[in-house]
Structure 1
Amino acid sequence: MTDKILKAKHWQLFFLLVGVPVGLFLTIGVIISSIIKGGTPPEPEDFFKLISIAKFFPLIMVLFVSLIFSWFWSVSVGLQNNMPSSVEMKTTKFKIFSCIPLLYVSGFCVFMFVALSKVKPQVLLQDLPQIPMEWLTPILFILHILSVFGIFYSMYFAAKTLKTAELQREVTFKDFASEFFMFWFFPIGVWILQPRINEMAEKNGVENNV
């Protein structure tokens, strides 16, 4: 899987990272718009139709986040063979911090999908299970902070890995700041970064065949 992502063309990766999620979101949006006719408040039966369709939004978000982090992971781990012998980049911390936001977002989205799936016309609001927010809120806050850090660290490590593989020396943030922001703004960055990643992956393949 890592090798396929590293060797994927920029337009193929753009289609996966942007085209597929956006297309799914738009499709569901069109369906929802067809239920809400003329901007009038939906009837009760239409409201539950909206809920039954909206529950798929979290699943699309899981797909989107998984694809993004697959790209970060492939660059950060897959290009380690391109590192110069004088530079050692340990991936353990990266793997831990990249898994935190992935698990956090996936868990939250799955919870939302299950919760929305349980909303039925015959179920009253007071009959729904109550969530103990007094202890859940601080836990979610901590996980949210760790997830935000994990996202930025994943982009930081991927950018540093790519630049180190290209320059074949120890790099500072000044050297790979532009790559960091291109990973951040990936809909644009993928067109610039992926050809360079392809080159590194091809070089890695040649070296492994020697």
Structure 2
Amino acid sequence: MIAAFALSKILANPDFDISPNSFHANGLWSIPMIYSLVAYIQIHWFPASILVAKEQGKKPDFSQILGTFILLFFWPVGIWLVQPRLNRIYNAV
């Protein structure tokens, strides 16, 4: 009930606008917006860095992680290319 009340207050705020074509935040609403963007990137970056580190056995560089990150970011296509790498690691354990 509290969550429904909070959501109705958030959606009624003119500084926070969600439409089918855009997502717009002004003022203090930009802080959660930036946090959400960083969190979404981190959700894909962390598994990519762990996968590359496990394959190489050492801490990977930015350029080594980037390709896997892009594959995971566009997951419907990327997961087909990442799955064989995961299977190799799983079978080695």
**TM-score, length of structure 1 as denominator length:** 0.32
Identify the residue that residue 50 of structure 2 maps to in structure 1: 161
- Determine which of 64, 67, 82 is the counterpart of 1:178: 67
| Partner Cα separation in structure 1 for residue 79 and residue 12 of structure 2 | 42
Q: Is it true that 1:142 corresponds to 2:22 in the alignment? A: no
- Determine which of 175, 184, 187 is the counterpart of 2:76: 187
Alpha carbons of structure 1 residues 161 and 132: separation in structure 2 relative to 1, 3 Å: same
- Determine which of 10, 13, 21 is the counterpart of 1:133: 13
Identical-pair percentage: 22
| 8 A Cα contact 2:44 2:73, kept in partner | yes
Unpaired stretches in structure 2, ≥5 consecutive residues: 17-25
**Per-residue deviation, 1:138:** 3.9
Measured against aligned partners, the alpha-carbon deviations of 1:160-193 in whole angstroms (never above 9, x if no partner) come to: 1000000101210111211010011111101000
**Per-residue deviation, 1:132:** 5.9
**Per-residue deviation, 1:133:** 2.0
Unpaired stretches in structure 1, ≥5 consecutive residues: 1-109, 116-128, 205-210
Return the letter of the residue paired with 2:66. A
Return the letter of the residue paired with 2:42. Y
Would you tell me which structure has more strand in proportion to its own residues?
A: 2
Measured against aligned partners, the alpha-carbon deviations of 1:130-158 in whole angstroms (never above 9, x if no partner) come to: x6627876454221210111111221111
| Partner Cα separation in structure 2 for residue 156 and residue 142 of structure 1 | 21
Q: Give RMSD over aligned pairs.
A: 2.8
In the alignment of these two chains, the number of paired residues is 79
